[in-house]
């Protein structure tokens, strides 16, 4: 049985992922990281209604990925980490078929670690993705 603390942590993770689960929320997060803009600019740039904008902003504020100072929005340190994780997911999506090929090859051939590392180096161009794959090799 999961402890209450662990369940609370999972809920927090779920809340963060939920807050960025639609395309407009992701676009807002990216725009804030680039612009540190006020509400009017963000709404206009992303073609959001006031209700849609403030609903999304309240979710992002509530989970702590953004903050508001002097009528402008900024990423928090936590928000920068969340955005970095989102960039890592973007990179993985760009390499999706190479990752699938790697999984398929490993499943059918049972590679030694050295050969697995060589294959990973050849297929996966992103250093961060390679590092993640190597850390979690079964």
Residue 90 — very low, low, confident or very high, per pLDDT cuts 50/70/90? very high
- CB distance 50 to 43 below 8 Å: yes
Domains of the chain: residue spans and CATH: 4-78 (1.10.10.10), 95-135 (no CATH)
> Two tokens at 75?
């990423």
Closest alpha carbon to 138 in 118, 116, 115: 116
- Position 117 scores a pLDDT of 87
Express each pLDDT in 25-78 by its tens digit. Answer: 999 999 999 987 788 889 999 999 999 999 999 999 999 999 999 889 999 999
Sign of CA dihedral 124, 126, 127, 130: negative
| pTM listed for this prediction | 0.82
Residue 4 — very low, low, confident or very high, per pLDDT cuts 50/70/90? low
Express each pLDDT in 122-134 by its tens digit. Answer: 999 999 999 999 8
- CA–CA separation, 96 and 16 (whole Å): 24
> Two tokens at 35?
């612009």
Residue 3 — very low, low, confident or very high, per pLDDT cuts 50/70/90? low
- Position 5 scores a pLDDT of 56
- Position 27 scores a pLDDT of 94
């Amino acid at each position: 049985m999961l402890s209450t603390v662990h369940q609370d942590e999972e809920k927090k993770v779920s809340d963060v992922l939920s807050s960025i689960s639609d395309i407009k929320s992701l676009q807002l997060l990216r725009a804030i990281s680039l612009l540190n803009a006020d509400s009017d600019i963000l709404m206009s740039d992303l073609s959001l209604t006031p209700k849609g904008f403030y609903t999304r902003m309240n979710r992002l504020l509530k989970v702590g990925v953004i903050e508001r100072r002097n009528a402008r929005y900024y990423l928090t340190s936590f928000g920068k980490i969340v955005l970095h994780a989102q960039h890592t997911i973007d990179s993985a999506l760009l390499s999706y078929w190479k990752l699938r090929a790697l999984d398929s090859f490993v499943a059918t051939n049972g590679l030694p670690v050295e050969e697995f590392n060589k294959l990973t180096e050849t297929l996966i161009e992103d250093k961060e993705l390679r590092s993640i794959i190597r850390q979690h090799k079964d």
